[in-house]
């Protein structure tokens, strides 16, 4: 037997079951052939943010060296269409005379179809295909007693924890020593790039960031995670999304803190674990609810919603000029950093969908085009949760009041001041609704609110109730 690996959204060697399985098959005298396909057309279709591509591009410079050192003979190929993926994988497998190919599953419908096509083609040529679940701790197998997918997060999280208690942690073994091979060439591709250098790259650096976060910062997570001004969340999201880190690594570290893992963690770590479970929940949804991959609402009846879709208002939201400082601060952080704090993501999403009554898909797309951690599953889940078309356990009449949210999550206004320069001298008391303060100073460099929240709320509720 001779095994190869196809890397996709799992650009790492550690805690990668596809790599581990191939490594077990091949004797240590032989290299492990591996393939990574880049497809600019597909990236455009999936709205890859230029900053996300830049992070992957920079990471690849480390990854090719790591792979070579571990005897993984990587080829990086550019293909002009995903429709040609099966052909490229077949050619690669035949060239290396593989008898089996390993990869980690991806869950949206089109990726699953692609993988089925690859499997069919390879099996026709007597090459076995093995799919692993390396980007999830719990594979998408858990269902309710009635056999269906969990529709709500809380029972899902309970089942997730029970599964891990019963089955234990997935095992992470170090790769055996192999002779090093030649370092792969990274082909140039035609895709816009945006500087991602504020983020470290390479598996070692990402692992180090994870270690540091769990050792030094996670304790305060439960109390501070909703305060964007404190900025104390892990900022690890791009690493899970590109598969530079595996959630397996996170839970192994957490399990060292509690012998009864997943029970028995301190409050900070337990709350943080819950967020990793949210990530898994949305990936499971992708697998179980195919219509999500077609841009449809999770709650079918909400697809009938008549959105206002006012383009000028959408532009104001995108530019961070809605006159609601917390919303504008979030959108300006996204423009500047390619990342936004989770609480603010929820606030800006609520605002777009409920106050402006703009289709959540417009916001979902804009986020993907700008986020360094843009994830189809988490982004779609987050938008639908906020739009009340998804899995939020609260009813649709929960409409965030952007001013009250602002007072609550940014009480001293430090987050707003950081991102909305026009308000950098505005006192905390006025900063959440600064129109009067600006007027007193004869200033017109920051807009008045583009909607009246109270009226907008009524307008949304009337439309949504009619569904």
| d(C-alpha 158, C-alpha 48), whole Å | 33
Residue 383 interacts with ligand FAD (CB under 6 A): yes or no: yes
Shortest distance, CB of residue 387 to ligand FAD, whole angstroms? 9
Cβ neighbour number for residue 414 with a 10 Å cutoff: 15
- Report CA-CA distances (Å) from 151 to 18, 140, 141, 353: 30, 13, 14, 22
Shortest distance, CB of residue 290 to ligand FAD, whole angstroms? 20
Shortest distance, CB of residue 365 to ligand FAD, whole angstroms? 11
Rank residues 196 and 386 by Cβ distance to ligand FAD and give the closer one. 386
The binder of ligand FAD chosen from 50, 382, 390, 434 (CB under 6 A): 382
Say whether 280 counts as a known binding-site residue: yes
| d(C-alpha 325, C-alpha 269), whole Å | 31
Say whether 185 counts as a known binding-site residue: no
First-to-final CA distance of the chain: 58
Say whether 282 counts as a known binding-site residue: yes
Which positions from 148 to 187 touch ligand FAD by CB under 6 A, shown as an x/- string? ----------------------------------------
Per-residue tokens: 193? 């790039």
| d(C-alpha 218, C-alpha 266), whole Å | 9
Q: Which backbone phi and psi does 215 adopt, to 5 degrees?
A: -80, -35
The binder of ligand FAD chosen from 156, 278, 317, 460 (CB under 6 A): 278
Binding piece for ligand FAD, criterion CB under 6 A, among 147-155, 190-198, 373-381, 409-417: 373-381
Residue 279 interacts with ligand FAD (CB under 6 A): yes or no: yes
| d(C-alpha 149, C-alpha 172), whole Å | 28
Look at the block and give the residue holding tokens 């019963």: 166
Cβ neighbour number for residue 66 with a 10 Å cutoff: 18
Shortest distance, CB of residue 124 to ligand FAD, whole angstroms? 37
The binder of ligand FAD chosen from 104, 135, 333, 386 (CB under 6 A): 386
Touching ligand FAD, residues 321-360 (CB under 6 A): 342, 345-346, 349
Residues near ligand FAD (CB under 6 A), total: 29
Query: Is 383 one of the annotated active-site residues of the chain?
Result: yes
Element (H, E) at 101: strand 100-104
Query: Is 360 one of the annotated active-site residues of the chain?
Result: yes
Say whether 276 counts as a known binding-site residue: yes
- From the list 84, 217, 342, 401, the catalytic residue is 342
Binding piece for ligand FAD, criterion CB under 6 A, among 116-124, 199-207, 290-298, 365-373: 365-373
Touching ligand FAD, residues 202-241 (CB under 6 A): 225, 233-237, 240-241
Do 410 and 416 form a contact (C-beta atoms < 8 A)? yes
Q: What angle do CA 179, 33, 71 make, to 5 degrees?
A: 15
- From the list 41, 275, 321, 407, the catalytic residue is 275
Return all residues near 436 (Cβ < 8 A) that are at least 6 apart.
430
| d(C-alpha 93, C-alpha 4), whole Å | 7
Binding piece for ligand FAD, criterion CB under 6 A, among 31-39, 175-183, 269-277, 289-297: 269-277
Shortest distance, CB of residue 156 to ligand FAD, whole angstroms? 12
The binder of ligand FAD chosen from 375, 388, 391, 405 (CB under 6 A): 375
Rank residues 139 and 382 by Cβ distance to ligand FAD and give the closer one. 382
Do 390 and 384 form a contact (C-beta atoms < 8 A)? yes
Shortest distance, CB of residue 163 to ligand FAD, whole angstroms? 18
Rank residues 205 and 428 by Cβ distance to ligand FAD and give the closer one. 205
Please identify the residue of the shown chain whose CB is closest to the bound ligand FAD.
382
Say whether 7 counts as a known binding-site residue: no
Query: Is 419 one of the annotated active-site residues of the chain?
Result: no
Q: What share of the chain is helix, strand, coil (3-state, %, to 5)?
A: 55, 5, 40
Say whether 233 counts as a known binding-site residue: yes
Which pairs count as long-range contacts for 235-239, CB under 8 Å and 24+ apart, including other chains?
235/209, 235/339, 236/206, 236/209, 236/210, 237/339, 237/372, 237/373, 237/375, 237/378, 238/52, 238/55, 238/199, 238/339, 238/372, 238/373, 239/206, 239/209, 239/210
Instruction: Give the pairing type, strands 32-38 and 72-78.
Output: parallel
Residues near ligand FAD (CB under 6 A) are: 225, 233-237, 240-241, 272, 275-276, 278-279, 282, 342, 345-346, 349, 367, 371, 373-375, 378-379, 381-383, 386
Specify binding-site residues for FAD: 221, 233-237, 272, 275-282
Specify binding-site residues: 221, 233-237, 272, 275-282
Residues belonging to the active site: 275, 278, 307, 342, 360, 383
């Amino acid at each position: 037997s001779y095994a190869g690996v196809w890397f996709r959204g799992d650009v790492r060697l550690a805690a990668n079951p596809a790599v581990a399985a191939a490594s077990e098959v091949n004797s240590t005298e032989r290299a492990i052939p591996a393939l990574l396909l880049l497809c600019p057309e597909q990236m455009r279709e999936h709205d890859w943010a230029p900053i996300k591509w830049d992070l992957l591009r920079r990471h690849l410079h480390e990854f090719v060296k790591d792979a070579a050192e571990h005897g993984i003979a990587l080829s990086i190929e550019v293909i002009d269409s995903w429709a040609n993926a099966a052909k490229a994988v077949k050619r690669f497998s035949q060239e290396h005379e593989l008898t089996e190919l390993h990869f980690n599953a991806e869950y949206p419908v089109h990726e699953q179809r692609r993988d089925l096509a690859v499997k069919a083609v390879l099996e026709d040529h007597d090459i076995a295909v093995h799919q692993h679940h390396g980007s999830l701790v719990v594979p998408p197998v858990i269902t309710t007693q009635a056999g269906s997918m969990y529709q709500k997060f809380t029972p899902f999280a309970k089942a997730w924890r029970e599964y891990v208690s019963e089955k234990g942690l997935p095992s992470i073994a170090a790769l055996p020593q192999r002779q090093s091979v030649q370092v792969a060439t990274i082909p140039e591709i035609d895709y816009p790039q945006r500087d991602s250098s504020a983020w470290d790259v390479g598996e070692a650096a990402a692992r180090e960031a994870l270690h540091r976060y769990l050792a030094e910062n996670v304790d305060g997570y439960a109390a501070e995670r909703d305060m964007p001004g404190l900025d104390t969340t892990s900022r690890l999201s791009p690493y899970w999304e590109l598969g530079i880190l595996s959630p397996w690594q996170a839970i192994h570290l957490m399990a060292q803190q509690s012998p009864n893992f997943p029970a028995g963690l301190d409050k900070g770590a337990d709350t943080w674990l819950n967020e990793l479970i949210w990530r898994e929940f949305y990936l499971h949804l992708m697998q179980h609810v195919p219509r999500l991959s077609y841009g449809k609402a999770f709650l079918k009846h909400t697809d009938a919603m008549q959105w206002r879709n006012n383009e000028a208002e959408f532009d104001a939201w995108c530019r961070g000029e809605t006159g609601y400082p917390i919303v504008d601060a979030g959108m300006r952080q996204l423009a500047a950093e390619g990342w936004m704090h989770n609480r603010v993501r929820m606030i800006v999403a609520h605002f777009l969908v409920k106050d402006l009554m703009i289709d959540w898909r417009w916001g979902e797309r804009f986020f993907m085009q700008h986020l360094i951690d843009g994830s189809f599953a988490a982004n779609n889940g987050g938008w639908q949760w906020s739009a009340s078309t998804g899995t939020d356990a609260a009813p649709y009449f929960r409409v965030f009041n952007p001013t009250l949210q602002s007072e609550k999550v940014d009480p001293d206004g430090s987050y707003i001041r950081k991102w909305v320069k026009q308000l950098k001298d505005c006192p905390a008391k006025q900063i959440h609704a600064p129109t009067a303060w600006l007027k007193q100073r004869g200033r017109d460099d920051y807009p008045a609110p583009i909607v009246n929240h109270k009226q907008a709320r009524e307008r949304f509720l009337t439309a949504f109730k009619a569904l």
